[in-house]
């Protein structure tokens, strides 16, 4: 494979692989984590415990995000054995990884909360998130696409996340880094708001 933006292809795809792992694993970890207590009835024991709703959400989301970050660390360390990986902005990288892991873990919590069966729970991760990641420049640069498909790709929000993480690694991005950060924070606020409203109403938990 040819170099992309002066970076070897093996090194170029590392941020994309990390983002792919973070998005898929954080969603699946938390959605299954909240769905199984609903499925086997142990959710009522959790609700009866002397802890607040915020603490319940923090426990599920924190556990899912932590497992995802650990997997991400393993992938990062493994990649260093095969390709040359450099991180120009380590603090930015850590910030983006934690932000994405917790935001999509919260999104996964929301999916598990709203799902009534396993089929419903797998629809969004399988048919929406995974294709968006693979078509979001995780394994290629947008400059390699025809102009029409570049324009179409701009409407894929995952593109901005992958480019933000790639900028933290190599200082190379197709977009302004602040677009990535602001879009992630905006999505986090939306997830927090929806989860708060649903939990307050006891949606598919207390009934």
pLDDT tens per residue, range 26-81 = 888 888 888 877 777 777 777 677 877 778 888 888 888 899 999 999 999 998 88
SS3 4: strand
d(CA 127, CA 147): 25
SS3 109: helix
d(CA 182, CA 204): 31
Question: So what's the pLDDT on residue 69?
Answer: 92
Q: Which is more confidently placed, 100 or 44? A: 100
In 3D space, the residue among 142, 144, 104, 143 whose CA is nearest the CA of residue 124 turns out to be 104
Q: How confident is the model at residue 176 (pLDDT cuts 50, 70, 90)?
A: confident
- Percentage above 90 pLDDT, the chain: 6
* pTM of the predicted protein model: 0.83
Q: Which is more confidently placed, 116 or 25? A: 25
Residue with tokens 């494979």: 1
Question: For 1, what's the count of Cα atoms within 13 Å in the CB-facing half-sphere?
Answer: 15
Phi, then psi, of 191 in degrees rounded to 5: -65, -45
d(CA 46, CA 44): 5
Residue with tokens 């909360």: 113
SS3 3: coil
């Amino acid at each position: 494979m040819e170099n992309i933006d002066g970076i070897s292809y093996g090194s170029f795809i590392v941020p994309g692989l990390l983002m792919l792992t973070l998005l898929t694993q954080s969603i699946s970890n938390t959605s299954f984590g909240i769905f199984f207590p609903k499925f086997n009835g142990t959710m009522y024991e959790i609700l009866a415990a002397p802890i607040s709703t915020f603490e319940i959400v923090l426990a599920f989301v924190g556990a899912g995000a932590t497992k995802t970050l650990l997997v991400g660390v393993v992938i990062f360390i493994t990649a260093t054995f095969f390709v040359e990986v450099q991180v120009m902005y380590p603090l930015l990288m850590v910030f983006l990884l934690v932000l994405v892991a917790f935001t999509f873990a919260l999104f996964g919590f929301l999916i598990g909360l709203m799902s009534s069966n396993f089929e419903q729970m797998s629809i969004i991760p399988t048919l929406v998130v995974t294709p968006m990641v693979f078509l979001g420049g995780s394994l290629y640069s947008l400059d390699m696409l025809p102009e029409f498909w570049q324009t179409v790709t701009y409407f894929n929000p995952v593109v901005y996340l992958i480019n933000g993480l790639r900028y933290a690694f190599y200082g190379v991005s197709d977009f302004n880094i602040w677009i990535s950060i602001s879009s992630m924070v905006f999505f986090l606020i939306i997830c927090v708001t929806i989860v708060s409203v649903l939990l307050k109403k006891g949606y598919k938990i207390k009934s």
